[in-house]
Amino acid sequence: MKGELFIIMGVSGSGKTTVGRLLASEMNMPFFDADDFHPKSNLDKMKSGLALDDNDRRPWLELLSEELHNWSNSEGAVLACSALKESYREIFQSKDVKINWIVLRGSYDLVRQRMTERKDHFFSAELLQSQFDAMEWPDYGIHVPIEHQPAEMVSRIKTIFRFRHECRLGLIGLGVMGSQLSRNMLNKDFKLSVYNRYTEQEKDVIDEFIKSCNNDQSLNGFTDLGEFVQSISKPRTIILMVSAGKAVDLVLNELSGLLDAGDLIIDGGNSFFKDTIRRQKNLEESQIGFVGMGISGGSEGALKGPSMMPGGNKGHIIEILPVLEMIAARDSQGNPCCSYIGPDGSGHFVKMVHNGIEYAEMQLIAEMYSCLASKYSNEEISSLFSKWSGSGNSSFLLDISSDILRKTNRQGQYWIDLISDVAGSKGTGNWTVQLAAELGCTVSMIGSAVEFRMLSAMKETRIMLSTQVEKPGDDFEIEDSVLLTAYRTARIINHHQGFEMLRMASETYNWNLNLSELARIWTNGCIIRSELMRNCIDGLKKGAILNDIDILQTVKDSEPALKTAVIEAIKKRISIPGLSSAYNYWIALTTESLPTNLVQAQRDYFGGHGLYLSDDRDDNLVHINWKQ
């Protein structure tokens, strides 16, 4: 492949040479190891256990830069080089050559283990920490986790390279999310075809989008679906970014007749998971793959890197996963916030529950605002939210709430004071509550948030009845620290309920969901990213969030604050369904004997449903003749 340059970078022990040789062999290109270009003085210094400094490296880097220029004018090359700092990488590109950066990433412990197992290599494992300390991880390039086998790592690299050099990707629907996701893919150097329907209201969408992308040569735009499909190389991958429901079926009915066996459709909207399963089965007959993929992050996340949750046939997803990982957000360790979720409609199901958790998170912040508004100004509440975020309670939703509260219009009026209190929703919260009931699990906090939005729509009734009750004084007498503790505790309960629903769904539908991995991919890019989400990862490895000893102790220690917040809010007639449902759930969850024995007796009395006796170890269903 004439002129192409690949630099396989990473710390020593990450597999640069192994991966580089294999990639060069499969692409019929020469391979070089940067270590072979070191002068003898550098080699002697490293053998003696001393780390090189930038003065040592400069002549070596300039020599490699010259070689890269020469290779780019011939048959190209694959070079293995640590390339620790951005300044080093700038030297490599100083000759105006195009480099495909391959970034090998792994944990310190994994790399050190590999280093100690290596023999006959001049780099000592004791110098590894210095490389990790010096490494400036780039936000560009193809990032490849070293946990995979070398052959799989090379396969991922080649997949991304193919998608960059020929148009294999298409996207349908240039709404807010679709247009931003398209820009994301173009920013990652993928070739892309986009389609948007032609109507009077949307006739200029394609032209305007192409202009907004500065007529990027990697982009083709269409208003004819057939031409759009033909512009994409086989096997095609087409991402649907259209409204959930009938719109998806309408597009599929037209699109499926234009595709070939082996093509793949990815539904990136908020479709109902049972619809996703139905569509998968329908398209199987034509040997067309269909994946339901949850995408979270809003407009900004779609552009800069969202959290992505693909579910369906594992073989289909593994083939496209390297591309999805390129456009996804990255966690604190540099790993993509995108993983294979599970079979069937699991990708859309977990996104639905994600949105349910989001509903309750937003509700809790609104309740904090309501409580604080009785004694603080918008600016003061904004500052307090910022302070909370900086004290171990950071979250995307809390941060944007702080921004919202201080935003004013040209007249100096706070926007928050001008916005109607009738809240909207798009249905995923409702689905979460309905399916929780089907599964037999409790998501009381999500339910309270959904119902509160419904209650907000009863505006005329609320106005009328508000005149019929006596209003207490405005002062809300509770310390800010107590309210923060209550908020933090309720959030833990919300996350516990959401992940318990996912656990029960996994068992019911045989999806084998990795809850800890789900929490990891929700630590960045998505709307519910937060410090708490990061803290939930270890607890979920043990089965449930409250199985983490530290988190459980936090809830136990915080119960008095939660109770105080609920009592004081009710005294002031402040509606706090999120806080109160969290506390009621916690009380019930930690109560050995509940009064539901009476409920069972009532059911047996009027309906003859039968019941179980607490001292019957065989769990025999019995019926009591209550009238005899």
pLDDT at residue 454 is higher than 80: yes
Rounded Cα–Cα distance for residues 62 and 66 (Å) = 6
Confidence at residue 51, expressed as pLDDT on a 0 to 100 scale: 74
Q: Which of 183, 302, 174, 310 is nearest to 242 (CA)?
A: 174
CB 296 within 8 A of CB 351: yes
Among the ranges given (109-118, 217-226, 459-468, 493-502), the one the predictor scored with the smallest mean pLDDT? 109-118
Query: What is the rounded distance in angstroms from the CA atom of residue 388 to the CA atom of residue 365?
Result: 12
Tokens of 344: 């069937």
Domain co-membership, 544 together with 598: no
Please say if the pLDDT value at position 250 is more than 90.
yes
Q: Check which CATH number belongs to the domain holding 433 and give it.
A: 1.10.1040.10
DSSP string, 305-325: --EEEEES-HHHHHHHHHHHH
Q: Give a three-class secondary structure readout of 157-197.
A: HHHHHHHHHCCCEEEECCCHHHHHHHHHHHHCCCCEEEECC
Q: What residues are paired with 145 via a beta bridge?
A: 105
Check whether 125 has a pLDDT greater than 80. no
CATH code of the domain covering residue 176: 3.40.50.720
pLDDT of residue 216: 85
Q: Do both 145 and 213 map to the same domain? A: no
pLDDT beyond 90 at 577: yes
* pLDDT band at residue 106 under the 50/70/90 scheme: confident
Q: Residue 371 has which token pair?
A: 């409580």
The rounded Cα 73 to chain-centroid distance in angstroms is 41
User: pLDDT by residue (tens digit) across 476-515?
Assistant: 778 999 999 999 999 999 999 999 999 999 999 999 999 9
Domain range for residue 75? Answer: 5-160
Q: Rounded CA gap, 441 and 591, in Å?
A: 17
Q: Alpha helix locations (H) across 33-75?
A: 40-47, 54-72
User: From edge to edge, which strands make up the β-sheet containing 289-296?
Assistant: 219-222, 192-195, 169-172, 237-240, 264-267, 289-296, 307-311
Give the CATH number, domain containing residue 625.
1.20.5.320
* 610 and 498 within one domain: no
Name the pLDDT band for 122 (thresholds 50, 70, 90). Answer: low
Same domain, 270 and 356: no
Q: Are 385 and 419 within one domain? A: yes
Instruction: Based on the fold, state whether residues 199 and 332 are members of the same structural domain.
Output: yes
Reply yes or no on whether the pLDDT at 130 is more than 90: no
Q: Give the residue from 160, 182, 212 where a domain finishes.
A: 160
Query: Where does a domain end: 134, 160, 186?
Result: 160
Tell whether 396 and 356 lie within a shared domain: yes
Is 319 noted as a catalytic residue in this protein? no
Average pLDDT of span 102-118: 83
Tokens representing 132 are 């990790």
Per annotation, catalytic residue among 4, 188, 191, 358? 358
**Mean pLDDT across the stretch 108-130?**
71
68 lies in the same domain as 93 = yes
* Residue 358 annotated to the active site: yes
CATH of residue 113's domain is 3.40.50.300
Q: Which of 160, 187, 212 is the last residue of a domain?
A: 160
Query: Considering 351, 361, 367, 500, which one is annotated as catalytic?
Result: 351
Statement to judge: residues 93 and 215 lie in one domain: no
Examine the domain organization and report whether 471 and 599 are in the same domain. no
Q: What does the mean pLDDT of the chain come to?
A: 92
Q: Is the pLDDT of residue 208 over 80?
A: yes
Residue 576 shares a structural domain with residue 603: no
Rounded to an integer, the average pLDDT of 439-443 is: 96
Over 50: is that where the pLDDT of 1 sits? no
Peptide bond into 336 cis (omega under 30): no
Where b means 16+ CB within 10 Å and e means fewer, 75-112 reads ebbbbbbbbbeeebbebbeeeebebbbbbbbbeeeebb
Whether 599 and 532 share a structural domain: no
Domain count of the fold of the chain: 4
* Residues β-bridged to residue 31: 78
- What pLDDT band is residue 133 in, cutting at 50, 70 and 90? confident
Q: Which two tokens stand for residue 240?
A: 């649907």
